[in-house]
Amino acid sequence: MTISNIFKSTGIAIAHQLISTLGVLIISGQLVFTFCAVARTWNPSVPAKLASRILTGIPGFPVQAVISLVLGFLLAKFFGRWVMVRIMVWMWVLPLILFGLAVLFPPMHGAPLFAPYARGNSGPTNTFLSVLSYSFPLVAAAAYSLGAKVADRRVHPAQ
């Protein structure tokens, strides 16, 4: 393996890590806020904060996970030759390490990491934001990797 191949693989891995976390965060926000705006034009009684409740009020980030799963699947299925699926399926490792470190060494403000899940989210708080910063990347990257793995199996079935 040459130095240029190492740099290329590293660059692709960084791009996939950003797509699987920040890209999903941006895409899911745009889709949900657009959907809620359209719903409000048809039905004015739709609450103005519905989009933020959908994105941050449901534990486990299911909307973002589904979007990430679909994004990983589509990228691997239709652009598999260029996006290096073998790198895509490992995008969950770095967020898992960061999540593990957050569990072992809680944030400095002393709030337990899982407190928002234990009491239910009543809105964004400092504790919730710390959970968002550690658990969201893990959920999004794991779903992205799973989507890539499923698409890769459909492209290259087992012999």
Q: What is the pLDDT of residue 119?
A: 47
**What is residue 140's predicted lDDT score, i.e. its pLDDT?**
92
CB atoms within 10 A of CB 106: 13
Q: Is the pTM of this model over 0.85?
A: no
What is the crossing angle of helices 24-42 and 126-155, to 10°? 100
Helix (H, G, I), strand (E, B) or coil at 7: helix
Q: What is the mean pLDDT of each run of 10 residues along the chain (159 residues)?
A: 86 90 92 94 91 86 94 88 82 90 69 52 55 82 92 63
Domain boundaries, the chain: 3-155
Q: Quote the pLDDT of residue 128.
A: 61
Contact (Cβ atoms closer than 8 angstroms) between residue 144 and residue 19: yes
